[in-house]
Structure 1
């Protein structure tokens, strides 16, 4: 019998690693620009350390202030999975902390994204090989009464996240890629990145073409006065 709000889907389709790995060398901003600038998470989802994020989403929705379903998700996750938690941006309870994060790291999980709070920030901040993103920090711990779902679509950072979506994160934030779009997005993002490299060279050489600014304003009817 269906039980929405308390259910776990054990399996989902993970994209192949060769589809994920090429995004590692491309800045999130360039990937986001290549997706019409609507697929980056809200800025409230911010990095808690400097480790770069790359992998596929294993999704969790938890009841406010409760992390029992997150424990289930962690024990189900495999290497390369990113635990993505819809904690409804709750600021009164930390959904996870050092012990759970250490367990994720030791099991080869690729990272953690929480639309909500974490704790034990000193330990998390010092991790260089396990990326953690969240909206805040509080010492107040969670309950374990249940309510929630694993591997169903969730909301996180203002975006709908599906199990198996590709996530790329750096110091700017996180971009989300549907695996079906990944090859096309990668080609566009690489082209965007190459163009940006050329622009940086032009800036350094004082040859950056800025004529488009005035041309655009003229098209919009801007009046220039001497």
Structure 2
């Protein structure tokens, strides 16, 4: 049952780690999470700018954004506001005004399991915003809601303080405790893929089963 619960902000991730993950493809990060962690059904509504930051989590009542307004007063530069809206598509929980406030306060982005509005304005913005769909109908503002609790977005569990990364392919999240090892593995994969693509460009490709193709 949804309650009115607001907990302190988690410790933010190392800024150098965040910047390193921002430069990596979400698909490669996902591969090194054994392809098990990822939000399904969310897509970018902004201009495609990559996103990375620390999760500030919110759970809302269906169609209600009171808790998101409260989260805007708690966010720190580098936070990603991750909203469990219950996958409800009947009312937009955020729009141009709230994303503008979040951007002005230094947020790294919004990840929303629900709907947004002002879609045309969001599409022109470089401020990352991921959601399920757009709709003109606005939200209620009565609560209750919860902040800094475990949430689910697109079937992916996100805990307060997790690192959240998003790009045109979607969104992944993972604990800070595995970030260094995950970064090393993802960098290695990205280097290997760059080598493969270079080979393809030169007319040579070694297939998945080791057969040389050219």
Q: TM-score range by the shorter chain?
A: over 0.9
Q: 1:117 to 1:4 in 2, by over 3 A?
A: closer
In structure 2, distance between residues paired with 1:156 and 1:213: 38
Match of 1:85 in 2: 83
Correspondence list, 1:121-200, <5 A:
121-128=119-126, 130-200=127-197
Q: What secondary structure does 1:90 align onto?
A: coil
Q: Highest Rg: 1 or 2?
A: 1
Q: What secondary structure does 1:12 align onto?
A: coil
Match of 2:38 among 28, 37, 40: 40
Kindly state the Cα deviation for residue 211 of structure 1 after the two structures are TM-superposed. 6.5
How many residues in Structure 1 have an aligned counterpart in Structure 2? 210
Q: What secondary structure does 1:91 align onto?
A: coil
Kindly state the Cα deviation for residue 18 of structure 1 after the two structures are TM-superposed. 2.1
Kindly state the Cα deviation for residue 205 of structure 1 after the two structures are TM-superposed. 2.0
In structure 1, distance between residues paired with 2:83 and 2:62: 11
In structure 2, distance between residues paired with 1:207 and 1:18: 36
Gaps of 5+ in 2: none
Q: What secondary structure does 2:89 align onto?
A: strand
TM-score after normalising by structure 1: 0.89
Task: Write out the 4+ residue segments of structure 1 that deviate beyond 3 Å after TM superposition.
Answer: none
Match of 2:198 in 1: 201
TM-score after normalising by structure 2: 0.94
In structure 2, distance between residues paired with 1:167 and 1:184: 16
In structure 1, distance between residues paired with 2:122 and 2:128: 9
Gaps of 5+ in 1: 215-226
User: 177-186 vs 11-20, which deviates more?
Assistant: 11-20
In structure 1, distance between residues paired with 2:179 and 2:139: 36
Please tell me whether the aligned partners of residues 13 and 53 of structure 2 are also in contact (alpha carbons under 8 angstroms): no
Q: What secondary structure does 2:8 align onto?
A: coil
In structure 2, distance between residues paired with 1:116 and 1:79: 23
In structure 2, distance between residues paired with 1:53 and 1:39: 17
